[in-house]
Structure 1
Amino acid sequence: MSDISLLRHGPVTEIRLDRAGAGNALSTALATELAAATGEIGDARAVVLSSGAPRAFCVGADLKERDRLTDAGFMAQRPIFRQAFAAVRDLPVPVVAAVHGYALGGGFELALSGDLIVADETAVVGLPETRIGIVPGGGGTQLLPRRAGAAVAADLILTGRHVRAEEAQRLGLVDRLVPAGTDVEAAIELAGLIAANSPVAVAQARHAMRRGFDVDLAAGLDIEDSAWRAAVFSDDRREGVRAFVERRPPNWP
């Protein structure tokens, strides 16, 4: 792959956007490679989505490419982009985005597609699509309200404004703010903490949170109960309790 690199860090797989010369602008080729890369994480227990570009996580869609597209070309590109964003959202393990520099439009939507966002002090995020006559199409209109609330989402999407790192953390747009240049290191460390836990319990807890978000409390508690049962009757639960009693690290089966 020319625009994507896969790096292994023990139980953590890093999917790195490597179209550095273009600020990782999302071209048709990059979107295609990203979707393919999500199928190559092997037995990873967590994924870090990072950038090899020095001044950007991802600047959004490749507008130079799009300027050459006809209406038919836009329609042909659309399912490729939808597949790429869905592939990140549907990864079977937790995803931590490591953000520095610009994460705009589709770039911010890629970060929103994961579970957690670690941003360094240089980060600038936003969904500026309305400035150029487009609606966020990588999940932004749905993911941002779920993360930060309807009012914050309306502010960002309808104005298209850019938000710098400190305000982004205050608004809940990113989860952890770290010194400049340390976003990938911090994201790998965070992913490693997740990966050290029971794979069954992590998967079931993640499933319960995602499925329970848009249902009423009673239905959500039933989803949680099903997740609890799946975990408590697993070999992971047996090993976790035994390891705690024996005062040793668990060896997850």
Structure 2
Amino acid sequence: MRADFEDDGILNQSNGATVDYSDNTAFAPGDGIVFAGATRDDFTADTTGVACFTAGSLIDTPDGPRPIDELRPGDLVLTRDDGAQPVRWIGSTHLDRAALDARPKDRPIRIRKGRFGAIRDTLVSPQHCLLVEGERFARATHLVKAGRRGLRRAEGRKTVTYVHLLLDRHAVLRVDGVASESFYPGALALKAMAPATRKRLEKILPPVARITCRDTARLAYGPTARPVLSMAELRALVLQAA
């Protein structure tokens, strides 16, 4: 499972404390669910790996850039392949200082302005996929390990709010100028959700209920918008470019 976590194209979410926005109810400023006093057992390599954006990031929409955490189901976002598409589900996961100290690998990756098209410094989760050469996806954490310039782990970050954005199909979005992925409901991501959140998601997209593994995810939801490079494949790509 750990090898699959590191190298396959299935995207994972955080543990079960995901905030579900599908009822269109917004939190007041400062409200939300916080993983206070989390331990290493709460954030294992088998259940973490949040693949998502961070609060405050600006996503391209037909009406111009909007803060991603202000979106609600039904709002339109611009995709690379299919134009404007409606948001089907959006949620957020807040990691406080204790949670990040317990699981430092969940600290966000900072993309410097000018790299990967970024219009400003922006943060993504380590497992979030960015579009790279050859129209392929590569995880942010793998790009850091491969030595790609302009990316580093935000070690000094005390807290982070990750935002999960689901469309009818996996898509390439542009956020803060960076081409990257929407949320993909892989089997591990669904298992990591709170039962109530997963049931809500299954009502929104009934085929999600059939997802139990990589193959059923592809059948029920469709393939990833681009092939996802493994760490080994990414290193080979870097060597070829050197």
**TM-score range normalised by the length of the shorter chain:** under 0.3
What TM-score, normalized by structure 2, do the two folds share? 0.28
Which structure has more RCO (C-alpha within 8 Å, separation ≥ 6)? 2
Considering only CA atoms, is the larger Rg found in Structure 1 or Structure 2? Answer: 1
Q: From the two aligned structures, give the one with the greater strand fraction.
A: 2
What TM-score, normalized by structure 1, do the two folds share? 0.27
Q: From the two aligned structures, give the one with the greater helix fraction.
A: 1
